[in-house]
Amino acid sequence: LIAGGAYVGMRSMGGMHNAMSNLMGEKIIHNVIGTPMLNGVDTQDHEVAELRAMFENHKELTRTVENLPNGILTVTETDNPELRELLVSHVTGMIQRVDDKRDPQILIQSQTLDILFERPESIVTEIEMTEIGVAVVQTSDDPDVVAALQTHAAEVSDLVERGMQAAHDAMAARDHSGVARSPTPGQKGHL
């Protein structure tokens, strides 16, 4: 169990490279140009490759979310060991980015994340590895942050359920100025 800005020990970059290569083929590691919606102002190739692997293999992920009075408990898992390595790397990397206020500004990124990148000091995070994935508890005394944590957890669950279609629907819900609109009936929120 770790808290705050601590980092879960990961295998070497070579191990992540092998996992990504096994899931997506060697070309994706060196050519992420084919995924412009996953690139951001501040993203690295391996982060884009992690996102792509999770989108492409979303049906192999399972996810549960429990809304707590002051936050969330999420459990995301997979029986696929290569995908699991990328999942854990993504989760721990994004938590570290929030702690560091390093918003990647990915094109498909939910505006729900804005407040989390603005107020990381109000978030307490605990990460625990499960047998086949990762459990995360995030809590806050700031009601706006709690609402954002719960909304984003639901958005990620939609991504796990529907993959890239969830991202497309979220982008369609925004107006031309980039400001998010409320989803239409039957439509999910933003990622």
> Can you spell out the DSSP letters for 7-41?
------HHHHHHHHHHHH-HHHHH-GGG-GGG-BT
Check residue 36 and give its pLDDT.
Answer: 60
Q: Tell me if 188 sits within 8 A of 169, measured CB to CB.
A: yes
Check residue 42 and give its pLDDT.
Answer: 66
Measure the CA–CA gap between 18 and 29, rounded to whole angstroms.
10
Check residue 167 and give its pLDDT.
Answer: 73
Check residue 191 and give its pLDDT.
Answer: 41
The pTM (predicted TM-score) of the whole model is 0.73
Q: What are phi and psi of 179, to 5 degrees?
A: -80, 130
Cross-strand bridge partners of residue 126:
3, 137
Check residue 104 and give its pLDDT.
Answer: 80
pLDDT in tens, the chain (191 residues): 444 443 344 434 445 445 544 555 544 433 334 556 666 566 677 788 888 888 899 999 999 999 999 999 999 999 999 999 999 999 999 999 999 998 887 777 888 999 999 999 999 999 999 999 999 999 999 999 999 999 999 999 998 998 878 777 777 776 444 554 333 333 333 34
Measure the CA–CA gap between 179 and 169, rounded to whole angstroms.
14
What is the three-class DSSP state of 121? Answer: helix
Check residue 39 and give its pLDDT.
Answer: 61
Cross-strand bridge partners of residue 62:
77
